[in-house]
Amino acid sequence: MDYISTQQAAEKWGISNRRVQQLCEQSRITGAIRFSRVWAIPKDAPKPKDPRLKQGDDNNGGSI
């Protein structure tokens, strides 16, 4: 299996390097492995979904 760094994952997913590290610490990236102070993320790992957002929510915030 090929792995990428947190910086590479951040560029791929359009988020900050620190956010990727936080997702790894929260075990939200499947297959991420920590070697000392460095995270290795599977190259094909999907970006974790944001739990604050609902899928398929057609509600536009109550606008008329």
- Where in the chain are the domains? 3-42
Q: How confident is the model at residue 58 (pLDDT cuts 50, 70, 90)?
A: low
Q: Quick one: pLDDT at residue 62?
A: 59
* pLDDT value for 22: 97
Helical ranges in 1-64 per DSSP H: 6-13, 17-25
Give the global pTM: 0.78
Residue 39 or residue 54, greater confidence: 39
CA 40 to chain centre: 13
Each residue's pLDDT tens digit, 2-50 = 999 999 999 999 999 999 999 999 999 999 999 999 999 999 999 999 8
Q: How far is CA 12 from CA 6, 56, 57, 62, in A?
A: 10, 24, 26, 34
